[in-house]
């Protein structure tokens, strides 16, 4: 693993999928224990955040709405490939803008999976049809459905700095509705403000206590704090030697246990990606089927180093 004080640019460093800029073999990760299959429901979102890694907005439809039938096809493929999947995740964009969201969640719940939906808990989720759909799902599968709410910071000022004035209050309204209907929640926050992990979690704990949210601020699975994802920041490349240097295993990296399905605008069918964080990087597209997506993934992007290997983060529950 080369020191970050290199003269090579980030682009030069991550140019070759097999070799790092200084000629060392690049680390790869095998799909050793598939646990989560993610579906991107589409990149359309009701808001435009200041630093959205997927550039979601009210006008971005580079990833279009995936359908219930397409989700069911991949659920069939899980069974055919005998993948030991336990969790189906839905992300966006804002998943509740997709009119198929309730049907897609039901399809996964019917087959016994845990279901995780990432949402800002704002107006799209609060539409009457979506509220009723969530109530119907939780009436039958309450213990297996979790909504992970995007609360970038425990304070209104910093959250609204990222998501726009008034966003914090609207999200709290949605979370209060979920609380009152006993729908399980977790939270996704950010660490971009230089706050210590302990201080950040203490802040979330105060927020949860104030509103009666049954979320553990000190459990990393219930309050997930994501590092900043800035591809322009200088990071070291990950070589095969890094595993022993860092005392880590490739099995710990997110692409060892998950894949994501997306539907690109104009495409005839969905595609399977190696990573939830890199929806627009063609080198991380593995094919259209789960069988094609079983191949190894080269850690050939700054996010691989900063977010997954060095940051130790994961999108799954």
Considering the domain boundaries, does residue 119 fall inside one? yes
Residue 77 lies in a domain: yes
In the chain, the percentage of residues whose pLDDT exceeds 90 is: 78
Q: Determine the average pLDDT of the residues in 271-284.
A: 92
Residue 44 belongs to some domain of the structure: yes
Average pLDDT of the segment spanning 106-135: 98
* pLDDT-derived band at 1, boundaries 50, 70, 90: very low
Residue 127, domain extent: 31-230+253-296
Q: pLDDT value at position 194?
A: 87
Does the structure show a pLDDT above 60 at 317? no
Indicate which CATH number applies to the domain containing 259. 3.20.20.70
10-13 long-range contacts, Cβ below 8 Å, gap at least 24?
10/231, 10/232, 10/233, 10/234, 10/235, 10/302, 13/237
pTM of the complete model? 0.92
Q: pLDDT tens-digit profile of 48-75?
A: 998 888 899 999 999 999 999 999 999 9
* pLDDT the model gives residue 6: 33
Residue 266 lies in a domain: yes
Does residue 208 lie within any of the structural domains? Answer: yes
Q: How crowded is the C-beta side of 147, counted as CA atoms within 13 Å?
A: 33
Average pLDDT over residues 207-222: 98
Q: How many other C-beta atoms lie within 10 A of the C-beta of residue 231?
A: 16
Report if residue 268 sits inside a domain: yes
The CA–CA distances, whole Å, from 281 to 37, 54, 175, 276 equal: 19, 11, 33, 11
Give a yes or no: residue 9 inside a domain: no
Please, which pLDDT band fits residue 226 given cuts at 50, 70 and 90? confident
Q: In total, how many domains does the chain have?
A: 1
Residue 311 lies in a domain: no
């Amino acid at each position: 693993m080369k020191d970050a004080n290199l003269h090579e640019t980030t682009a030069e460093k991550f140019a070759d999928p097999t070799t790092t800029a200084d000629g060392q073999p690049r680390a790869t990760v095998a799909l050793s224990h598939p646990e989560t299959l993610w579906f991107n429901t589409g990149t359309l979102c009701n808001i435009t955040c200041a630093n959205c890694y997927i550039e979601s907005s009210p006008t971005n439809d580079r990833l279009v709405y995936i359908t219930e039938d397409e989700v069911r096809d991949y659920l069939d493929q899980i069974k055919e490939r005998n993948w030991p999947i336990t969790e189906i995740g839905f992300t966006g964009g804002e998943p509740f803008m997709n009119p198929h969201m309730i049907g897609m969640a039901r399809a996964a719940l019917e087959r016994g999976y845990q279901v995780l939906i990432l949402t800002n808990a704002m107006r799209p989720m609060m539409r009457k049809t979506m509220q009723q759909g969530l109530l119907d799902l939780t009436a039958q599968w309450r213990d297996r459905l979790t909504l992970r709410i995007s609360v970038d910071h425990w304070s209104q000022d910093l959250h609204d700095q990222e998501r726009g004035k008034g966003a914090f209050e609207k999200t709290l309204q949605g979370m209060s509705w979920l609380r009152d209907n006993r729908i399980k929640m977790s939270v996704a926050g950010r660490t971009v403000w230089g706050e210590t992990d302990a201080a950040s979690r203490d802040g979330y704990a105060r927020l949860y206590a104030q509103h009666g949210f049954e979320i553990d601020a000190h459990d990393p699975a219930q309050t997930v704090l994501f590092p900043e994802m800035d591809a322009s920041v200088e990071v070291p490349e990950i070589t095969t030697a890094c595993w022993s240097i860092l005392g880590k295993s490739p099995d710990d990296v997110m692409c060892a246990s998950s894949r994501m399905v997306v539907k690109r605008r104009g495409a005839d069918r969905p595609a399977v990606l190696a990573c939830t964080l890199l929806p627009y990087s063609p080198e991380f597209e593995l094919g259209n089927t789960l069988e094609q997506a079983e191949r190894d993934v080269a850690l050939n992007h700054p996010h691989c180093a900063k977010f997954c290997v060095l940051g130790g983060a994961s999108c799954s529950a």
